[in-house]
Amino acid sequence: MPAGETRSTSAQAVTAYVAVGANLGDAQAAVRQAMAALGQLPQSRVMQRSSLYRTAPVARDSALAADGPDYINAVLALETALPALELLDQLQALEQSAGRERSYPDAPRTLDLDLLLYGDTPVDSSRLTVPHPRMWQRAFVLVPLAEIAPGLVSADQLRAVAAQAITRLQAD
């Protein structure tokens, strides 16, 4: 699609927020490529994207350290008419095409795509929980989310993750 053109979505579209991260290989390039690929999903278009941020790996239990190199992270707003589980399938297909392996929890990743929010609709299935269950505990999610959607993140939520080191690399 030529620059400046946008892919149209149906009247039933919602705004979904997707966290994008990588810490293996050229992580910055992987995050940028993933953001571009998200804009090419069927019935979807990127509305906003955050700056890139560098953060240390965080374990599922945020009190524990995780292994691996620092992550490059971003969050984007995606207008989509895809149902939540179809969007999840598309995200996982992009991860697979980037060489993502799920060898163990919190393993380093060539690409990590997490569906954070899907409009105002909660999802609770065996495959997907939205809002993302750990998003409110992670600076690498909340800081870039607050950059593009400040009304979704409170000052108290940002204070709760203020001890987690996060460095803005650039506006992207």
Question: Mind telling me the catalytic residues?
Answer: 100, 109, 112, 114
* Residues 51/168, Cβ–Cβ less than 8 Å: yes
d(Cα 23, Cα 112) in Å, to the nearest integer? 9
d(Cα 152, Cα 171) in Å, to the nearest integer? 20
Backbone conformation region of residue 36, classed left if phi is above 0, alpha if psi is from -120 to 50, else beta: alpha
Burial 116-144 (b: 16+ CB within 10 A, else e): bbbeeeebeeeebebbbeebebbbbbbbb
Q: What is the DSSP letter of 65?
A: B
